[in-house]
Amino acid sequence: MTNYHTQWTGQFYVAAELTKRGYLITFTLGNAPVTDLLARVPDGSSFSVEVKSRSTPSHFVILKEPPARDDQFWIFVVLKDGPRYFIATSDEVRPAWLDHKSKLKGGSLPALNWGVVQKWEDRWDILPQENLNE
């Protein structure tokens, strides 16, 4: 599977999982920086989701510095033996990304270490929940 297919597969899996949990979902189709999905709790708050997908567990490369936003969530998807979901806030992703970037040598691309991402598995409860499934 190409990176293109892996990324789209991950986005559709995340959208399906969020929909199953009662969220309303819109795809940005690449028209919004650092936002793959827009999510809304019915009669509640809205938030954006950046999806990063991999076929197997490895470093998750983030090419741009994650913004500091209260309404931004990151969902990392591993497709092998899954899908498996790893959910984090921008307040968690940004410092982890900056820490890893500070340790890079030469022309390496900034990435999140798998050990950091692994701690965030199945944390659906950190997403906005008000009025969900009413």
What's the pLDDT at 106? 66
What's the pLDDT at 107? 63
Residue 132 domain-assigned? no
Residues spanned by the domain of 14: 3-126
Its sign, for the CA torsion 23, 37, 125, 127, is negative
What's the pLDDT at 131? 67
Residue 83 domain-assigned? yes
Residue 66 domain-assigned? yes
Residue 133 domain-assigned? no
Separation between Cα atoms, residue 55 and residue 5, nearest integer Å: 10
Beta bridge partners of 87: 75
Residue that has been written with the tokens 């197997």 in this structure: 56
Number of domains in the chain: 1
Q: What's the full length of the chain, in residues?
A: 134
Give the domain CATH number at 22. 3.40.1350.10
Average pLDDT along the chain, 134 residues, taken 10 residues at a time: 81 96 92 87 89 80 74 92 92 86 71 85 92 61
Residue 134 domain-assigned? no
Residue 131 domain-assigned? no
What's the pLDDT at 100? 78
